[in-house]
Structure 1
């Protein structure tokens, strides 16, 4: 009975310790900002984390958009890249933060922008602008870059650029879609569901293609490893035969055999 009580106390103690190790946090993060959470972990201790972005558009999927605030000095340039699948729609909107609101944006805060694919094709280009937007359907998959360049200005100034860049049908503004088409609410909901189904359909085909590529890579790797194994076997047999012949010749010279 004493032994059972001792085990029970140990079990309750372990549960109590583990209950204090786990943490559940909820925090807000503004666009262009960062936040760090630290945890003191002992050596060789296992740790598990789980994070979820709260979806403001329930029951619709989380928007696949990136809202970034870029700091750009005079005479400098900065590029933001995005991995976009082939035949995927992408939409971007950029605005230079005006330090002199409500007056017009000063000339020192004008920028040049160019959006290019990994193959060097230009999809958007503008000069001497303080805001704009771009949208296109990616013909080729890969990295797409949006490069911003600020003009030289004395004294140097630092520009703030708000960039919102998203890909996929979930990035479409559902409110503007309904406003433009002037459809009924039910028809609008059906269109949104059709867009979601098409997106899932395209994603499934993309994953299937990726799976086939990985299978081909695995087959090629296995074939190469098999040939390498056979080559290693023949090399070992050849070395063993040479050693055998060398030892036979040596013993014959010594008249051992």
Structure 2
């Protein structure tokens, strides 16, 4: 009984943590087409991770809201987007690299209107990453899973993400340690080389000055 209670408590805690959703709500001012400045929201995401962005747009006349999703990896991957959003939009994609994923919005004001602070639209953005991006209700129906089986499947995914993150941190720590050791080795050899050069230069100066004074017959 105690073991079952402990397991239930652990399950509740992990599912509570996993249910945290990254969301943000903000006003996006409208600007002319020749002075657009994207408003970007970024989040670091690991490779091969499912991401679902749910966008809700507030009412705004004479304004066109576009969204584009990219990352800052060397490949500069693009994960799509949508132009002239007028209703709730759901964008799903799988990342191709460990990088910051940026969801960028622009709000273009109609050319017939002058810029004014009153021209803006409210953006409500919710982002589900990894286990939270999976529709377990649909999965349970497709595979005819019981509710507890669906929750255990979700818990398994959450635990796997934790393991993957710990493995990533371990590899990152190993790379940083290798970098520190390599830097220390280079500093050591540079210091040793500098000492040899200084000692050699000092010895050369002594020999040169001795010969110079002997030529001037200042010393024997």
- Paired with 2:49 and 2:92, the residues of 1 have a C-alpha distance of 11
TM-score when scaled to structure 1?
Answer: 0.66
Q: Do the aligned partners of residues 180 and 111 (structure 1) sit closer, same or farther apart at CA in structure 2, a change above 3 Å counting?
A: farther
Unpaired stretches in structure 1, ≥5 consecutive residues: 1-56, 99-105
Q: Is the 1:72–1:160 contact (alpha carbons within 8 Å) kept by the matching residues of 2?
A: yes
Does residue 193 in structure 1 map to residue 147 in structure 2? no
Considering fraction of residues, name the structure with more helix. 2
Superposition deviation, residue 66 in structure 1:
2.3
CA shift for structure 1 position 173: 6.0
More off after superposition, 61-70 vs 190-199: 61-70
Flag structure 2 segments of 5+ consecutive residues without an equivalent: 1-11
Q: Give the one of 63, 75, 93 matched to 1:136.
A: 93
Instruction: Tell me which residue corresponds to 1:256.
Output: 219
SS for the counterpart of 2:68 is strand
CA deviations 1:111-163 (Å, max 9, x no partner) are 11111122333212211113312122211121221111112232540111111
Indicate if the aligned counterparts of 2:131 and 2:154 stay in contact, CA closer than 8 A.
no
SS at the partner of 2:168? helix
Point out the more displaced range, 141-150 or 183-192. Answer: 183-192
**Structure 1 vs Structure 2 CA RMSD:** 2.5
1:181 deviates by 5.6
Provide the TM-score with structure 2 as the length reference.
0.75
Higher relative contact order (CA 8 A, sep 6+): 2
Report Cα offsets for 1:167-187 as digits up to 9, x if no partner.
232454666665776532321
1:107, distance to aligned residue in structure 2 (A): 4.5
